[in-house]
Chains A and B, each alone.
Chain A
């Protein structure tokens, strides 16, 4: 018997329901508003009074409306066919909804119920299986989509029977498994999982170490992120957070990209809808959209569903990770999610923490980031979720609760700087404040020295030091004047400018410059460190600036030229000739 109740009070999207039976925290309930069912979630219980947050507008709701509880928490449907979908925060398929405007109570199924999938069995009768074991696979947009024992099946099972290779829809039983008591369970291609509970069907979660190529030089070269790593991008508005996020999601070398547009601008999501079906994945040559899932809860969509959207995206990510795939999850922006928590906490009249955010914000953020990671599955295969979140700090001030709590858990920090953005030095990632903890991992260093070059880390650290030194000298020149410092100082300063212009700055709207392969990044790094290690001689500081501006100009033209093309080699030669002109000795 499912519990029922009636509405007793309404304060915006917080509704108080009097119930006739047991309810669970976070249980889903539907409120009947003149025939339209509004989905809601239990967030507090006091005696017979249950407080639910409604995922829709409560306009027109009256006291006395009937409520039905469903006996489960907020769940997502998992199965083949999620790729290429545009979902809302509660996993409804946005494309299946009628009309231009969203309608209350319009819930659509995220999968195609008719489509036949070509299933190839991987398990055999007699195999021992547990939750997450691979029973077979279907081809989903050229990804090997594994059909697994549902995550909710907690026991040990033996495969009793499995269908032969063939075309089946998602509801067709593909295997029957038996537990220790001889109880049989039929398994098809669909399963459900509560979003707030992490999927843990893996053997271990070792430290991540494999470089995840993003094609963005100031990330890959300077502060790399790894497969299964976590990072965050805080930045005031206008510093290029979204452009950077889009660049990473377009270029990163991942099997699956999930974009959670959480409380952000609808037009930015439209940009993805419009461009991704046209763009080509630089690694596979297929359409970008084929590997992408969009979870869109834009800022004008219901606030409570905004909180759910990041969990929905993470759960879908965990599902694909369990298939041994590399998942990249991007959330823009985690601050909007925190604000949704704040709005609800406020309506519940909880005592507020810093900046009126709920007291447990820190725990919520760290639990969420903790769900990312590189895992070794029970069958020995590896999978990963790399998570990058943006943070929109109020007033651009990084000393605010969301940034500070995120900084405690994310291993990469990409600080977007207003000053760089004002100067149009994009991407505006501050090279000195930003960091990647992965550089310090010995596993990572070993990985790059075998996969890129043995002196890679050495050179990266060298240019970082040069950038810092350049910044210090720039400050001195500002105080003492151009002629108040030795000419040598100008040379050091301009070497750091060269690094800034050639390595850091990247034109994300130029087809070629937007994405730089690791091979090319190595080429650039070698070239730039060679120039920086060269001793130059100048009589006057004006000559230094003029000379380096010429170097920078040629270097930029080289960045715009296709790698190893004729004009690329041409600029490379020009650059070397210009260097030998002023070289000492």
Chain B
């Protein structure tokens, strides 16, 4: 019920599909309110007219509805009790448990001072060679899967999360199907990892605009564990395209001029505010973000994947390789920008060269394949690249591979030695002399 300091107004002047305006004074920008019991946030103030965005939509709101301002922006109670709990987009428990105790912190807080960040330098081993060998992940990194909706990105993400040895795994679900939500819950529960999981969930059954709160909720919880508890936190955000869709709905209803692909002009800054929360802190804690951006028809020039690509530190692509009948991590289009911080430094010295040589030869195989499809004769070298590519897909790139980095490197050297001559791999001679099998 309304408390003493809360201000109540009833003069609603305007109602649209997602917003309503009310005559009110002494209202702060970004402040939370309830309109007819529905949660809302201040998005515009002109004189005494305050425009509120209603998260659930404005269906059924009467012009004489009670508008109660709460005098604070959206916030989350952070504390150790968050661990192992499941919440909705507002940070309210949905697992039947009690409301966790802790300090109330406004979500979407300030940025880390760049000079206070540490350079990420810790390898995150996932066992998946397509990631560890070619696109090594580093703690404090932010990287999305660019995937078509039918690809098994949730499975790969769950595998990464469980093998990554994170102290906390925070799952932010936006427009996730209930089935996928239950999948994550089961996988984590079967792995005995539930006490490390914190989940903020907006499923397809919940209103779309609500999901705008999910990343900030998840990252506010992440900052608590990473900064106050010095823990290594892995944040999974799926699916960021649904998040962007919600942004475009709101901006459209606010009559903003859309830019590319009907997305708001501020899309880059909006996404950057989320992804840039990934950081390595000086005290040892870290926030690593692995996200999913679903593509439509594989189009990465669409505004959402395009802006994301400029913000994140690389991207991972999955692809079904028909030659070996397995899903692989695509070595051409995938990239981890931070990999050189650990490759050859935290891993064996030959790592960067082996990775580049193998990918280059894999590219030669792709050329040979084109030649074959066009009906040309293949040279002996072409034939060898093709057989190398098959072995490489099967033993290294496939997502069901689980090797440590030394095994990956040795396996790759073995494949190179089997199919090629030393002068064909274009590597430093010292490396070839030392590791050629």
A580 at the interface (CB under 8 A from B): no
A562 at the interface (CB under 8 A from B): no
Distance in angstroms from B82 CB to nearest chain A CB is 20
- Contact of B374 with A553 in the complex, beta carbons under 8 Å: no
CB neighbours of B26 from chain A (8 A): 62-64
A488 at the interface (CB under 8 A from B): no
- Selected from A16, A58, A397, A553, the residue in CB contact (under 8 A) with B301 is A397
Complex formed: what's the CA distance from A100 to B109 in Å? Answer: 12
B110 closest partner in A (C-beta): A101
B51 closest partner in A (C-beta): A11
B229 at the interface (CB under 8 A from A): no
Given contacts A10-B29, A265-B276, contact A482 B379 (CB under 8 A): yes
- Contact of B257 with A346 in the complex, beta carbons under 8 Å: yes
Size of chain B's interface in residues, with CB distance under 8 A? Answer: 83
A283 at the interface (CB under 8 A from B): no
CB neighbours of B426 from chain A (8 A): 552-553, 556
A182 at the interface (CB under 8 A from B): no
Distance in angstroms from B26 CB to nearest chain A CB is 6
Q: Which of A74-82, A168-176, A223-231, A268-276 contacts B (4 or more CB under 8 A)?
A: A268-276
- Contact of A100 with B268 in the complex, beta carbons under 8 Å: no
- Contact of A299 with B377 in the complex, beta carbons under 8 Å: no
Given contacts A237-B309, A265-B311, A481-B376, contact A273 B114 (CB under 8 A): yes
A557 at the interface (CB under 8 A from B): yes
B359 closest partner in A (C-beta): A424
B272 at the interface (CB under 8 A from A): yes
CB neighbours of B282 from chain A (8 A): 100
Distance in angstroms from B299 CB to nearest chain A CB is 9
A550 closest partner in B (C-beta): B423
CB neighbours of A301 from chain B (8 A): 111
- Contact of B111 with A101 in the complex, beta carbons under 8 Å: yes
- Contact of A395 with B306 in the complex, beta carbons under 8 Å: yes
- Contact of B113 with A267 in the complex, beta carbons under 8 Å: no
B116 at the interface (CB under 8 A from A): yes
Within 8 A of B (CB), among A477-491: 478, 481-483
Q: Which of A39-47, A307-315, A323-331, A335-343 contacts B (4 or more CB under 8 A)?
A: A335-343
A-B contact count (CB 8 A): 201
A247 at the interface (CB under 8 A from B): no
Within 8 A of A (CB), among B11-51: 25-31, 43-48
A333-369 CB contact bits vs B (8 Å, 1 = yes)?
1001001101100100000100110000000000000
CB neighbours of A63 from chain B (8 A): 25-27, 45, 47-48
B307-339 CB contact bits vs A (8 Å, 1 = yes)?
101110111000000000000000011010110
CB neighbours of A556 from chain B (8 A): 426
B115 at the interface (CB under 8 A from A): yes
A549 at the interface (CB under 8 A from B): yes
CB neighbours of A194 from chain B (8 A): none
A542 at the interface (CB under 8 A from B): yes
Give me 29 A-to-B residue pairs in the complex whose CB atoms sit less than 8 angstroms apart, sorted by A's number.
Answer: A8-B47, A10-B29, A59-B28, A60-B30, A62-B29, A63-B26, A64-B25, A86-B114, A103-B110, A237-B309, A237-B310, A242-B337, A265-B313, A267-B338, A269-B114, A270-B118, A274-B119, A299-B276, A300-B276, A339-B265, A355-B260, A356-B260, A392-B310, A394-B301, A396-B301, A478-B370, A481-B375, A553-B426, A557-B429
Q: B residues near A, CB below 8 A?
A: 25-31, 43-48, 73, 106, 109-120, 140-141, 227, 256-260, 265-266, 268-269, 272-273, 276-277, 279, 281-282, 300-303, 306-307, 309-311, 313-315, 332-333, 335, 337-338, 340, 352, 356, 359-360, 363, 370-371, 374-377, 379-381, 423-424, 426, 428-429
Given A269-B114, A271-B119, A300-B276, 16 other A-B residues pairs in contact with their CB atoms under 8 A:
A11-B45, A242-B337, A263-B272, A267-B119, A267-B313, A270-B114, A298-B114, A298-B276, A301-B111, A356-B257, A394-B260, A394-B307, A422-B363, A478-B374, A481-B375, A481-B377
